[in-house]
Amino acid sequence: AQTVTQSQPEMSVQEAETVTLSCTYDTSESDYYLFWYKQPPSRQMILVIRQEAYKQQNATENRFSVNFQKAAKSFSLKISDSQLGDAAMYFCAYRDDKIIFGKGTRLHILP
């Protein structure tokens, strides 16, 4: 069965610095999709970025980028120039016919 692991329950980063959140997954499939979601204190889940497994190029959305290593089954999220509004829970998710979420990483931004 597919699994998603986020090994960092909590992280902190200084405002304006860069932080990387880790995610690994396990699957025997070759075709799938990966996502990062953000859940701020309002608890509204917001899609941050998506990556198609068949694409070698890493996805980028403004200050958010991923490092997708398919062979290593790794999908980390890099946040550049961290802002106070980035403070949230971040969930990594894997999808083939079902979507599976990791347990999340709580990110604190230090002013």
Partner 1 sequence: SQTIHQWPATLVQPVGSPLSLECTVEGTSNPNLYWYRQAAGRGLQLLFYSVGIGQISSEVPQNLSASRPQDRQFILSSKKLLLSDSGFYLCAWSGQGFAYEQYFGPGTRLTVT
In the complex, the residues that contact partner 1 under the rule CB under 8 A are 32-33, 35, 37, 42-47, 50, 52, 91, 93, 95-99, 101-104, 106
Please report how close the Cβ of residue 109 comes to partner 1 at its closest, in angstroms.
Answer: 18
Q: Which is nearer to partner 1, 76 or 81 (CB)?
A: 76
Pairing outcome for strands 99-101 and 105-110:
unpaired
What is the phi/psi pair of residue 90, to 5°? -120, 130
Looking at residue 84, what DSSP letter applies?
G
Please report how close the Cβ of residue 95 comes to partner 1 at its closest, in angstroms.
Answer: 5
Owner of token pair 């998603």: 4
